[in-house]
């Protein structure tokens, strides 16, 4: 008999019909009640076993973690926990699970423990809810751009250029690491490497996306990006997924409006489509917050935060205004910031971003017009000569979720900036070509997908919203 998903059974509610379900045992109580989960929904299906009908030694093999195919009749439930249940007529034991060794027991496990069991943690309610929300968000991302007529572009993963100019890249090489060929001056001869040059995993698909926007108009990439920055925080991964739209003829205001519309739109979709998972995560979030000291607790619940973002305009504030606010802020005056804000031009730390969003404005904030010294080479220089048309979107509990800008479309200005930043223009010949042949004003941004999932699920560590996190000293699985 073909298996029916538990989510479908829930939706159709055909009482008295016979179904086959296949899944994993969450619990088996009193040799009578199997809670079966198949991943299609948060809910387990309660399967009621008539003990007289099955052999005792057979039933003993049904333990938490085992996989089963069950045939039975759907009936209204007598119990209080669920509206319906299945009266079991057949059980096929697909795979046993040693109850002494199976680590995912029906009790609360710490996130740290589950990270070490990342290959099995998807069988918990929390991780399955998070990953269903992640999947729904991913779909909503494509839907948003496709409906707007953007084209999806697959930008390369292996690249010869450092898009962000931050030098935090993972090298890709097939040279023998213990005996690489050398140039006469002793440096490694990358011309003998696989690609005949030094190559790395990409930190961003932006530069290549820009080339496509200069022919297709509006495009987006949604791919993996890699950063070898040694940031052991709850917001950083060495491998993460980024959504990068790039649009010809957009200025910075158009860019900000698109980003805002994009975030609200995907959140609204997920609110509709993941109601049950989000209700569960909302409850989980509330419990986690309760366990924190009063001062550290979030002022809003998870669903409240998501709804707030979809219903309110983001506050647009220039970097210069933000610095004034921070300089005069209580924590700055009382020396509570780890990095004091004393002069215009400093880079904002996450403590400053969170102060602006969580304490001062109490809503998502778009900061724009940053000092050129703290931003990438490709951002458009403003008339003041000091700032560039950058924008970062800051979110409560997350800090920076989006980084973007209007791009420098003027060849001479861009060349000058590349020189100032000691970047080799030869590496960017193709990027500069865009400014030689039919240059146009254009803009784009990058949204860190895991930071969006983090916000939407209310999880507290980015390692728990991606199946297999890659972080310094950790690439298990
Ligand atoms: O601000 P970033 O570095 O911008 C870019 O890479 C641009 N090329 C984007 C563009 O304009 N097309 O990164 C963009 C976003 C950040 O706002 C953050 O959400 C996320 O990517 N991000 C990370 N997420 C997880 N782990 C990390 N190590 C991240 N670094 C950046
Ligand atoms: Mg950034």
Tell me how far apart the alpha carbons of residues 421 and 168 are, in angstroms, rounded to a whole number. 16
Q: Say yes or no: 129 and 97 in one domain.
A: no
Is residue 69 located within the same domain as residue 159? no
> What does the block give as tokens for 290?
């309760």
**CA 403 to centroid of ligand 2, rounded, Å:** 4
- Encode 77-115 in three state secondary structure: CCCCCCCEEEEEEEEEEEECCCCCCCCCCCCCCCHHHHH
Q: Give the per-residue pLDDT at 126.
A: 98
- Residue 444 CA to residue 440 CA, distance in Å, equals 13
Q: Compute the distance from residue 404 Cα to the ligand 2 centre, in Å.
A: 7
CA 221 to ligand 1 center in whole angstroms = 13
Q: Is position 173 within any domain?
A: no
- Using alpha carbons, select from 447, 453, 448 the residue that is nearest to residue 466: 453
Cβ–Cβ < 8 Å for 35, 80: no
> Are 12 and 86 contained in the same domain?
yes
H/E segment holding residue 273: helix 252-273
Cα(403) to ligand 1 centroid in Å equals 6
Task: Report if residue 450 sits inside a domain.
Answer: yes
148 with 72, same domain: the answer is: no
State the CB neighbour count (10 A cutoff) for residue 24: 20
Between strands 218-226 and 399-406, the pairing is unpaired
The ligand 1 atom at the shortest distance from the C-alpha of residue 462 is 25
Closest C-alpha to 207, from 414, 452, 451 = 414
Residue nearest to atom 21 of ligand 1 (CA): 448
Q: Whose CA is nearest to atom 23 of ligand 1?
A: 448
Confidence at residue 191, expressed as pLDDT on a 0 to 100 scale: 95
CATH code for the domain of 285 = 3.30.930.10
Do 41 and 75 reside in the same domain of the chain? yes
Residues 63, 25: contact at Cβ < 8 Å?
Answer: yes
Chain Cα centroid distance, residue 18: 40
- Both 137 and 37 in a single domain? no
**Residue 79 confidence (pLDDT):** 80
- What is the count of structural domains for the chain? 2
pLDDT mean for each 10 residues of the chain (477 residues): 96 96 96 97 97 95 98 92 94 97 94 97 98 98 98 96 81 96 95 96 97 98 96 95 98 98 98 98 97 89 96 96 97 95 94 92 96 96 97 94 98 96 92 98 98 98 98 95
Note whether 153 and 265 are same-domain residues: yes
pLDDT at 296: 85
Expressed as residue numbers, the domain containing 49 is 6-102
Question: 132 CA to middle of ligand 2, Å?
Answer: 27
Protein residue whose Cα sits closest to atom 2 of ligand 1: 403
Same domain, 143 and 284: yes
Identify the pLDDT of residue 295.
83
92 and 137: one domain? no
Nearest atom in ligand 1 to the alpha carbon of residue 404 is 11
Nearest 5°: phi and psi at 405? -170, 165
Rounded to a whole number of angstroms, the CA Rg of the chain reads 26
SS3 of 401, please? strand
pLDDT at position 81: 82
118 falls within a domain = no
Residues in the ligand 1 pocket, defined by CB under 6 Å:
163-164, 204, 206, 227, 236-237, 240, 242, 244, 400-405, 444-448, 450-451
The reply to whether 115 falls in a domain is no
Order of strands, sheet of 151-152, starting from the edge strand that comes earlier in the sequence: 151-152, 218-226, 239-248, 442-448, 399-406, 387-395, 365-371, 315-318
Is the domain of 82 the same as that of 140? no
Residue at which a domain ends, from 102, 137, 160: 102
In this structure, the strands spanning 218-226 and 151-152 are parallel
For residue 272, being part of any structural domain is answered with yes
Residue 476 DSSP class: -
Bridging pattern class, strands 442-448 and 18-29: unpaired
User: 14 C-alpha vs ligand 1 centroid, how far in Å?
Assistant: 48
Instruction: Establish if 415 belongs to a structural domain.
Output: yes
E strand segments, 355-441: 365-371, 387-395, 399-406
> What's 47's domain CATH number?
2.40.50.140
Q: Which atom of ligand 1 is nearest to the CA of 451?
A: 19
Q: Are 52 and 155 in the same domain?
A: no
308 and 163 together in one domain: yes
Asked if residue 335 belongs to a domain, the reply is yes
The answer to whether residue 29 sits within a structural domain is yes
Task: Compute, in angstroms, the gap from residue 447 CA to the centroid of ligand 1.
Answer: 6
Q: Whose CA is nearest to atom 24 of ligand 1?
A: 448
| Distance (Å, whole) CA 310 – CA 174 | 47
Mutate to test the pocket of ligand 1, among 365, 398, 446 (most ligand atoms within 8 A of CB): 446
Q: Which ligand is nearest to the CA of 252?
A: 1
DSSP state of 430: H
- CA-closest residue to ligand 1 atom 22: 448
């Amino acid at each position: 008999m073909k298996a029916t998903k538990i989510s479908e059974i829930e939706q159709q509610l055909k009482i008295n019909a016979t179904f086959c379900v296949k899944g994993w045992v969450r619990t088996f109580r009193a040799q009578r009640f199997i809670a079966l989960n198949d991943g299609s929904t948060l809910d387990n299906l309660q399967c009621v076993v008539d003990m007289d009908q099955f052999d005792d030694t057979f039933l003993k093999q049904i333990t938490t973690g085992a996989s089963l195919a069950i045939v039975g009749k759907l009936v209204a439930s007598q119990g209080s926990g669920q509206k319906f249940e299945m009266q079991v007529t057949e059980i096929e034991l697909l795979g046993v699970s040693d109850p002494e060794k199976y680590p995912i027991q029906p009790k609360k496990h710490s996130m740290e423990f589950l990270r070490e069991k990342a290959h099995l943690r998807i069988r918990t309610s929390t991780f399955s809810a998070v990953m269903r929300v992640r999947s729904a968000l991913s779909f909503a991302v494509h839907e948003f751009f496709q409906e707007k007529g953007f084209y999806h572009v697959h930008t390369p993963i292996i690249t010869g250029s450092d898009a962000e100019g931050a030098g935090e890249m993972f090298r890709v090489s097939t040279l023998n690491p213990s005996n690489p060929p050398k140039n006469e001056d002793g440096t490694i001869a990358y011309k003998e490497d696989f690609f005949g040059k030094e190559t790395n995993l990409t930190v961003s698909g932006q530069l290549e996306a820009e080339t496509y926007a200069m022919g297709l108009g509006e495009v987006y990439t949604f791919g993996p990006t890699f950063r070898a920055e040694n940031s052991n925080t709850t917001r950083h991964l060495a491998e993460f997924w980024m959504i990068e739209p790039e649009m010809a003829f957009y200025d910075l205001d158009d860019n900000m409006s698109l980003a805002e519309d994009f975030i609200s739109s995907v959140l609204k979709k997920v609110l509709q489509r993941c109601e049950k998972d989000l209700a569960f995560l909302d409850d989980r979030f509330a419990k986690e917050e309760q366990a924190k000291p009063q001062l550290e607790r979030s002022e809003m619940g998870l669903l409240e935060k998501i709804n707030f973002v979809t219903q309110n305009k983001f506050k647009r504030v220039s970097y210069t205004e933000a610095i004034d606010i921070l300089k005069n802020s209580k924590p700055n005056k009382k020396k509570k910031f780890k990095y004091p804000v004393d002069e215009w031009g400093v880079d904002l730390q996450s403590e400053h971003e969170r102060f602006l969003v969580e304490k001062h404005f109490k809503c998502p904030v778009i900061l724009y017009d940053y000092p050129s010294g703290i931003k990438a080479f490709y951002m458009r220089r403003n008339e003041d000569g000091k700032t560039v048309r950058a924008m970062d979107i800051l979110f409560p509990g997350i800090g920076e979720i989006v980084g973007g800008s209007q791009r420098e479309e003027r060849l001479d200005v861009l060349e000058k900036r590349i020189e100032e930043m000691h970047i080799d223009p030869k590496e960017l010949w193709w990027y500069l070509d865009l400014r030689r042949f039919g240059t146009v004003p254009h803009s784009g941004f990058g949204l860190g997908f895991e930071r969006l999932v983090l916000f939407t699920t209310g999880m507290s560590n980015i390692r728990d919203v991606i199946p297999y996190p890659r972080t310094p000293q950790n690439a298990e699985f």
